[in-house]
């Protein structure tokens, strides 16, 4: 024997159905967000590595320029 009869339970059943639907949609959106964040982390790491390489190149260039400048004196 239930607390609600079929007629009085209908609004609650609809709310539960909508809640399940929204939960599923939010789950899909959350998965997409996680994938995008993982892509961002990967891109950040690539950019960080490239930035380090550029810094190293600039340091080498600066050292060469200093060397040539000191040789001209």
Q: What is the pLDDT along the chain (73 residues), one digit of tens a residue?
A: 577 788 888 888 899 999 999 999 999 999 999 999 999 999 999 999 999 999 999 999 999 999 998 887 6
**Per-residue pLDDT tens digits for 25-40:** 999 999 999 999 999 9
Q: Using alpha carbons only, what angle is made at residue 13 by residues 7 and 19, rounded to the nearest 5 degrees?
A: 160
* H-assigned helices in the chain: 6-72
């Amino acid at each position: 024997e239930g607390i609600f009869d079929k007629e009085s339970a209908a609004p609650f059943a609809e709310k539960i159905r909508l809640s399940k639907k929204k939960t599923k949609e939010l789950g899909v959106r959350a998965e997409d967000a996680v994938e995008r964040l993982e892509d961002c982390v990967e891109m950040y790491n690539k950019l960080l590595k490239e930035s380090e390489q550029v810094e190293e190149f600039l340091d080498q260039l600066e050292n060469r320029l200093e060397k040539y400048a000191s040789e001209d004196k």
